[in-house]
Chain A
Amino acid sequence: MAQALSDLKVLEYAQGITGPWCGKLLGDYGAEVIKVEDPGIGDKARRMEPFAGDVPHPERSGLFLYLNTNKLGVTLNLKTATGQRLFQELIRQADVLIDNNGVGAMDKLGLGWKTLKKVNPRLIMATITPFGLTGPWKKYKGGNLVNLHASGQGFMTPGQVEDPESHPPLKTAGHQADFMAGLTAAICTLTAVFASRLGNGKGERLDISEHEALAFQWARDIAMYSWDKTIPKRTKAGLAMTSGLVPCKDGFFYLHLRDARHWDTYVKLMGNPAWAKEERFKDDLSRGKNYSELEPLMMEWTMRHSKDEIYHLMQGEKVATMPLFTVPEVVNYRQMEERGFFTAIKHPMAGVAKYPGAPFKMSATPWKIRRPAPTLGQHNQEVLCGRLGCKKENLPKLRATGII
């Protein structure tokens, strides 16, 4: 079956998460992505955990292997004249360049936007930086933790804490900030491609700020504060509602009650206990206020039932309640299995493992893994000889002189 982006040629000189996630999104939906890495050390994600079998090795980082599926891997030393010439040859054949090397990094190599747009006037160069290419913070260092907190997400993450002093603003799991920046870059890139092909075919420089990619996610709170002076709080006192995590026999479930019907349904499932009719629990506001008294009462029933039982019981009554799953429970969840979400991928060095799969299903042009992540320089011959017309007998010389 055809793939949506199979006519796009992408060059990726990016490492870590932001740029490679952008490249993977394009590649998994069909684009040809050539990933350029520095010879010898490669992408820094190759040195990030987890490692397959806990063996730290540049070809065994689960994070790298996930982020670089479907890519062709070449090595080029961009500090050498020959490396730069070969890079420019690749630029000539590309529609898109993804770069996350920092403000001014490509210019320093002599491969900045002004140079590259002369090499290929149709080029779309997506540059992802922590705070953007302009403004007083343009030279500031960022990264997942700092960007996540700078954008307000950290401050708002621990909702309903008892004691804000011992519970600082909290990072969400993984690298959410970096993933959002990469996804935003993918949207901007496709938009620029769309505009370019409708219009005069001219290239464009995309200035993608991780800070802004995250800040937009706070749009609702910004509007509510601006018009209503609503200040979201992170303490328990700041919220009055029943919804939240409730302990049960084998863990927790998330009780989500939107209206009176949901509460009534829940009370019925608990066998209509007498306390449910008391004044102090009469509506969502009162229940939220008296939650510390409510929880132990609810637990008389919830501790006798598993989170799965409660899940299917409540959903059977159309109440949006869900279990708190651990990672193994997600991997083995019947819904994910039925949809074939986790995808087994075989890599020559790291072996077979199940990876998280398609972020969405397209009926005519499906997501597809055509090849696992490349080993360092795996496609040097295919790309340099096949695409750029280098002679095969010159490859050893390029290797010996540290170009590839």
Chain B
Amino acid sequence: MRHMMSPLDFSVDELESMMDLAVQIENDPEKYAHVCDGKKIATLFYEPSTRTRLSFETAMLNLGGSVIGFSSASSSSATKGESVADTIRVVGTFADIAAIRHPKEGAPLVASQVSPIPVINAGDGGHQHPTQTLTDLFTIRSLRGKIHDLTIGLCGDLKFGRTVHSLITALIRYPNIRFVLISPEELRLPSYIREDVLDRNHIAYKEVTRLEDAIPELDILYMTRVQKERFFNEEDYVRMKDFYILDKEKMDLAKEDMYVLHPLPRVNEIAVEVDSDPRAAYFRQVRYGMYIREALIMTLLEVSVC
């Protein structure tokens, strides 16, 4: 029995197979509409989430399965002091697979150590969110037809953004990926990722502060939100904030086949006027997320089309 705690739990070849399966599901959803008949997913969400929980639930429903679970810690036994380990032991007697989101880092790993059913980490604090990374990888592959020989711009809050850290760690396993790290000085990628991940693996990257300077060379632009509270003073925030708002003017500088991704929710870092641009792929990304979660559920449950 396998679990999904980190994207690195699966080899590049295994992820490739999972993405191939996701493509087949996307192309012929009817064929997969009953592969999980009689199976149940438990979505154990100790903190609120809209997209991730609904994406998991929809993924299971699309495969013919059903859903149980809770969407906040207040509606679970956690309020009575039940441990994560005990909760999964109990839930494991009802469901066939579980997706866990928890504010405490490592909680899904604790569950997986005692769980009788496969556990998926659906986000644990600022630590990991592997299905977002799978979504990002699958989106890049679907849009560009490959996950190699690409220049990928990561823009915004590179210091605290767990999706960015996780994506970088996953992408360096593919050949000829170059990164352009676009952020204010205050929100640069942490040194442990620059040194321990990028430098150690001899990955090409450069750091810039202005999105305009970087955008012409990018194949993928991965946007994240720059939050006001991350700055030490208001003046710096005001000075920098417009550099990181993607608008039509900046899109005009980009290649015709550059795609814009965003883990969502978007606040104001991508102007609404960009939504109609065919290169704005962040809503398609949500759809790809659902397909890859379907493929992940099938992989962990070891079910296939008869």
> Are these two chains actual partners, yes or no?
no
Could you tell me which A residues sit within 8 Å of B by CB distance? none
Could you tell me which B residues sit within 8 Å of A by CB distance? none
